[in-house]
Amino acid sequence: MIIGVIAAMDEELEILLPKLNLDRKEIKAQMEFNFGTLFGKQVVLVRCGIGKVNAAVCTQILIDDFNVNTVINVGVAGGIGKDVFPGDVVIGSNLVQHDVDTTAFGDRIGQIPRLDTYEFVCNEELVLLAKKACEELNENNHYAGRIVTGDQFIADSKKIQWLEEEFKAMACEMEGGSIAHVCYLNSIPFVVIRSISDNANNGAHMDYEKFKPIAVKNSSTIIENMLKLI
């Protein structure tokens, strides 16, 4: 098994990279892919960059050039569910791309035209492993639910409320749905895990610089625990 670990921030990889027994490093599409062994598992660690295209390109490279057969994506998201607060973790049960809109042709908003699925479902076993890995984050709650993705940084509380009403989503971000889409097309099991930075739906805000070390700690702990459990 080769596991692709896609992080959204350099800081998350900075904790994991020193623990990686590095075999080789390759630059592709301006992304640095670090192949080696971590906690006894073969992994490729990579920061994909921001947005759906970067994330999709990164995922396909992992599959085609590094032969990964499992993908774990960690990063930061805005909370949507009213019970979700900064520092909490949302594990994707499924993902939908909220910025896809072909309703003019009769499609449901979020539906990729002519694709045989509406939502991209995370692998059940990986979701369970992520839940177990989160149990060591004693200071924060963790949830499983829908995460929505779009090429938009959403700070408007009305848009957040719309995402909850329209998609019943728990969190929103900018990469996970496209990673999920690529994994679905390639029949690769995946899971998307997000640390929550703020929630305009319940008035919970945290300064990003204050939140960043929390997110990094959460993400690195979850990855470490998952790799040990796999």
Q: What residues are labeled active site? A: 12, 198
Q: 198: which 2 tokens? A: 């703020």
Q: How far is the first Cα of the chain from the last one, in angstroms, to the nearest whole number?
A: 10
Distance CA 21, CA 223 (A): 16
Residues 4 and 62 sit within 8 Å (Cβ to Cβ):
yes
Distance CA 195, CA 132 (A): 16
